């Protein structure tokens, strides 16, 4: 970046790098080493939103239907999701998270939150800085939902 780089572009670059590095650091923390990031993402979507068809889950996770089929097959093998035939269309399959899958998501979230809290604690932030982080988190969430 140069001195004549527009402020919005500078901010975008700084946010991108910070989010990338933090995400990379937290991504390695999970409750089960046997699952991939893509599998964990699908599990989290199912835990948060409930049943999905394969195609809807693929769309939500922004992958192709064949890729999601492979992801789900692996999760079925591990016992983290089940396939349920659609009541109205036997060609379609619903995917639902199992209790074991919910436990993996919950424990992964707990571990990641604890690690992030430890990292934040090490910065010795004051209340104003914590409030600013909460506000930034809201903006980042809005960006992620676009």
Q: Which residues of 49-84 are buried (b: 16+ CB within 10 A; e: fewer)?
A: eeebbbebbbebbebeeeebbebbebbeebebbbee
Q: Tell me if 82 sits within 8 A of 101, measured CB to CB.
A: no
Query: Is 46:97 a contact under the CB 8 Å cutoff?
Result: yes
Strands 93-97 and 52-53: antiparallel
pLDDT in tens, 93-144: 899 999 999 999 999 999 999 999 999 999 999 999 999 999 999 999 999 8
pLDDT per residue as tens digits for the range 44-93: 999 999 999 999 999 999 999 999 999 999 999 999 999 999 888 888 88
CATH code, residues 7-144: 1.10.10.10
pTM: 0.84
Looking at residue 87, its pLDDT comes to 83
Q: Could you read off the pLDDT of 2-46 as tens digits, one per residue?
A: 778 899 999 999 999 999 999 999 999 999 988 999 999 999 999
Position 1 scores a pLDDT of 67
């Amino acid at each position: 970046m140069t001195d004549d780089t527009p402020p919005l572009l500078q901010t975008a670059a700084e946010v991108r790098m910070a989010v990338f590095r933090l995400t990379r650091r937290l991504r390695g923390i999970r409750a089960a080493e046997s699952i991939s990031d893509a599998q964990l993402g699908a599990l989290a979507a199912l835990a948060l939103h409930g049943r999905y068809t394969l195609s809807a889950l693929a769309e939500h996770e922004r992958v192709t239907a064949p890729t999601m089929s492979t992801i789900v097959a692996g999760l079925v093998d591990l016992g983290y999701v089940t396939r349920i035939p659609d009541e109205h269309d036997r060609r379609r399959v619903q995917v639902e998270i199992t209790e074991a899958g919910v436990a993996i998501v919950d424990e992964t979230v707990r571990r990641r939150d604890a690690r992030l809290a430890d990292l934040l604690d090490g910065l010795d932030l004051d209340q104003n800085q914590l409030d600013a982080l909460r506000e930034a988190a809201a903006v980042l969430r809005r960006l992620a939902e676009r």
